[in-house]
């Protein structure tokens, strides 16, 4: 059974069909790319998958379970985590606290225990700290644990956003233009990070990206969107040599 199965997904904003008859099947462990020209509806697909928008039609199944009309929070609990095109960190909180927010669904104690610092508070906080530090060291952020997220350099902010998403222990990770605004060095480093996430956590990833070097370098499969419709779908090599894709997106 596929991890993510999307059938006939549609959404209109007024008269505009932003996403029309979108289908995708992602197997567990795959690294899948979603590409297409600006305004093709890539981020809209992400927003549909994470419940920010509710689709007009279509079904989204994660691990066989219908999650189509659930809220963003519920969908995260079901196992989809994401990052954003324009970085959205909790910028007035420390790096480790950003990750601990992501952990808070898995490491619980009651509000009373939290306010009085009694009961499970100390034990659970310690476990959270350990887990958070483990994650941060994977992303090479452990030295910045007490820095405010806003004060991190750009590349590390991107990494922290991925770390925070990973903290929610997702089945599927959505990355929205992770390499946007990065120089080639940083992009290279990001590719290593993504490879590491796959290796360490066996994560299934769906990513939107414009950087073709990154896309052709790491994605196993691609879907190309154009004007809200799927233009082409399949193995990276086949897709990138498709004449329609070259015409619509890559340029002849």
Partner 1 sequence: MKLNKKSKDNYITYAIVMVAYLIFQILSATGNLSSHMTGLLVPMTYYAVIAVALNLCVGILGELSIGHCGFMCIGAFSSAFFSKLTENVLAWPIRFFLAFVIGIAFAALFGFLIGIPVLRLKGDYLAIVTLAFGEIIKNVINAFYIGVDGNGVHFSMKNSMELNMEPDGNLIINGAMGITGTPHNSNFTIGIIVLLLSLFVVQNLINSRDGRAIMAVRDNYIAAEATGINVTRYKMMAFVLSAAIAGAAGVLFSHNITTLTASSQYFGYNASIMILVYVVLGGIGNIRGSVIAACVLYLLPELLRGFSTYRMLIYSIVLIVMMIVNWSPRVIEKREKLAAKIGFGSRKKIAR
Q: Is 168 in the site for partner 1 (CB under 8 A)?
A: yes
State in angstroms the smallest separation of the CB of 43 from partner 1: 13
End-to-end CA distance of the chain: 38
Residue span binding partner 1 (CB under 8 A) among the ranges 152-160, 162-170, 178-186, 197-205? 162-170
Which of residues 27, 105, 130, 244 is near partner 1 by CB under 8 A? 105
Q: Give the x-and-dash track for 106-125 against partner 1 (CB under 8 A).
A: -xxx-x-xxxxx---x--xx
Q: Is 84 in the site for partner 1 (CB under 8 A)?
A: yes
> What H or E segment, with its residue span, contains residue 72?
helix 72-78
The structure tokens 């806003």 sit at 150
Q: Is 102 in the site for partner 1 (CB under 8 A)?
A: yes
Supply 123's token pair: 């034990």
Q: Is 81 in the site for partner 1 (CB under 8 A)?
A: yes
Query: Which pairs with CB-CB distance under 8 Å and at least 24 residues apart come from 61-67?
Result: 61/4, 61/5, 61/6, 61/7, 62/3, 62/4, 62/171, 62/172, 63/1, 63/3, 63/171, 64/1, 64/5
If you compute the radius of gyration of the chain from its CA atoms, what whole number of angstroms results?
Answer: 19
Could you tell me how many residues of this chain bind partner 1 (CB under 8 A)?
Answer: 45
Which of residues 9, 60, 89, 239 is near partner 1 by CB under 8 A? 89
Q: Is 72 in the site for partner 1 (CB under 8 A)?
A: yes
Taking phi over 0 as left and psi of -120 to 50 as alpha, with beta for the rest, 82 belongs to beta
In the complex with partner 1, the residue whose CB is nearer, 82 or 221, is 82
- Can you say whether the dihedral through the CA atoms of 47, 49, 50, 55 is positive or negative? positive
State in angstroms the smallest separation of the CB of 136 from partner 1: 14
The structure tokens 């004060």 sit at 151
d(CA 35, CA 209): 6
Binders of partner 1 in range 183-212 (CB under 8 A): none
Which of residues 22, 30, 35, 82 is near partner 1 by CB under 8 A? 82
Supply 164's token pair: 């925070």
In the complex with partner 1, the residue whose CB is nearer, 1 or 115, is 115
- Residues in contact with partner 1 by CB under 8 A are 50, 52, 71-73, 76-77, 81-82, 84, 88-94, 97-98, 100-102, 104-105, 107-109, 111, 113-117, 121, 124-125, 128, 146-148, 151, 164-165, 167-168
């Amino acid at each position: 059974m596929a991890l993510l199965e999307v059938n006939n997904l549609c959404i209109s904003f007024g008269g505009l069909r932003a996403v029309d008859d979108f289908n995708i099947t992602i197997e567990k462990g795959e690294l899948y790319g979603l590409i297409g020209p600006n305004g093709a509806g890539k981020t809209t697909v992400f927003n549909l998958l994470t419940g920010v928008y509710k689709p007009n039609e279509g079904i989204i199944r994660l691990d066989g379970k219908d999650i189509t009309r659930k809220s963003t929070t519920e969908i995260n609990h079901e196992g989809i985590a994401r990052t954003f095109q324009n970085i959205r960190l909790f910028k007035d909180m420390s790096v480790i606290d950003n990750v601990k927010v992501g952990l808070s669904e898995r490491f619980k104690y009651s509000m009373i225990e939290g306010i009085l610092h009694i009961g499970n508070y100390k034990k659970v906080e310690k476990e959270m700290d350990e887990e958070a530090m483990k994650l941060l060291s994977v992303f090479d952020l452990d030295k910045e644990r007490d820095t405010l997220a806003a004060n991190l350099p750009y590349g590390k902010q991107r990494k922290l956003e991925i770390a925070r998403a990973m903290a929610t222990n997702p089945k599927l990770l959505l990355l929205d233009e992770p390499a946007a605004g990065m120089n080639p060095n940083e992009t290279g480093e990001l590719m290593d990070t993504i490879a590491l996430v796959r290796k360490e956590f066996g994560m299934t990833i769906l990513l939107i990206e414009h950087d073709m070097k990154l896309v052709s370098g790491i994605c196993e499969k691609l879907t190309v969107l154009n004007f809200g419709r799927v233009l082409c779908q399949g193995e990276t090599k086949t897709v990138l040599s498709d004449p329609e894709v070259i015409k619509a997106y890559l340029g002849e």
